[in-house]
């Protein structure tokens, strides 16, 4: 059985790690390179860096930070934010990133997923989907959750898989930063309808929430930010509890 992955997420703005609630009210959470080193030592399986204002501000993710992280960290890491071309991905992978995450650019031009998958391999391509439940429908949003689309989460996720994405990072905007648990019903539906890994994001507040998202939501990985950044849930303790609950993890 494949082990479940625990993934700290570092949202980057102006070179610093930030954290908010429902995608707003951001507060500083520290230096991304130092946090990355700490998480690697504590037993994180992977890391995700998202330059959350890159798309809105129309610029690329900072390569300097990627180079520094690659020098300091020995676990795989994914980088996202403002990525819209083969050239962007090429630069990030050559700077040391293991995977890239695309979001708004994939919705605007779905062919990009296929192009990147064919060029670099699907294992390098994560498609992030930010969705909000509105009147019982999961609506995909763009640009850091600020722009609603006409897309349904499940329809879009299936297309993403068909176009060659290696995994999907699903963030529930309703749950983001609330610490009230992951959107397990939507996650379970995604996991049952798709054959690629699903990363759960948005809502982690307790160790039980991680147990639930693996057991109920059937997620392949769980991503969280503030509970790790502010020391509320130590990664090793989390993994030991997961193992105690018969959830396979790498210790």
Task: Work out the number of other CB atoms within 10 angstroms of the CB of residue 150.
Answer: 7
**Catalytic site includes residue 246:** no
Out of 11, 51, 88, 176, the active site residue is 11
* CA gap 31, 234 in Å, rounded: 18
Decide if 95 contacts 63 (C-beta within 8 A): yes
Mutual orientation of helices 184-193 and 207-215 as an angle, nearest 10°? 30
Q: Which of 51, 88, 130, 176 is catalytic?
A: 130
28 belongs to the catalytic site: no
Distances (CA, A) of 168 to 92, 93, 107, 219: 19, 19, 13, 10
Q: CA-to-CA distance for 176 and 134, rounded, in angstroms?
A: 15
CA 180 to mean position of chain CA atoms: 18
d(CA 239, CA 183): 20
DSSP per position, 34-54: HHHHHHHHHT-S-EEEEETTH
Closest CA to 223 of 129, 154, 122: 129
| Dihedral angle, C-alpha 159, 225, 178, 212, nearest 10 ° | 70
Catalytic residue annotation: 11, 130
């Amino acid at each position: 059985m494949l082990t479940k992955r625990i993934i700290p997420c570092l949202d980057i703005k102006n070179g610093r790690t930030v954290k908010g609630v429902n995608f707003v009210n951001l507060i500083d959470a520290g230096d991304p390179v130092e946090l990355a080193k700490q998480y690697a030592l504590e037993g994180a399986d992977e890391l995700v860096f998202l330059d959350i204002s890159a798309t809105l501000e129309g610029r690329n993710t900072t390569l300097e930070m990627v180079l520094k992280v690659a020098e300091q960290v020995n676990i795989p890491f994914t980088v996202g934010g403002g990525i819209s071309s083969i050239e962007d991905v090429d630069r990030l992978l050559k700077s040391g990133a293991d995977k890239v995450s695309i979001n708004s650019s994939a919705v605007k031009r779905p062919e990009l997923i296929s192009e990147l998958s064919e060029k670099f391999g699907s294992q390098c391509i994560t498609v992030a989907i930010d969705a909000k439940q509105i009147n019982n429908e999961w609506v995909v949003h763009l640009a850091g959750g600020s722009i609603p689309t006409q897309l349904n989460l499940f329809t879009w996720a299936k297309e993403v898989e068909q176009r060659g994405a290696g995994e999907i990072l699903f963030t529930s905007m309703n749950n983001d930063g609330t610490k009230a648990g992951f959107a397990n019903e939507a996650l379970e539906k995604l996991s049952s309808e798709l054959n690629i890994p699903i990363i759960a994001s948005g809502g982690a507040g307790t160790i039980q929430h991680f147990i639930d998202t693996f057991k109920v939501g059937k997620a392949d990985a769980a991503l969280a930010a503030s509970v790790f950044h502010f020391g509320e849930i130590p990664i090793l303790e989390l993994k030991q509890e997961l193992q105690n609950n018969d959830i396979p993890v790498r210790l």
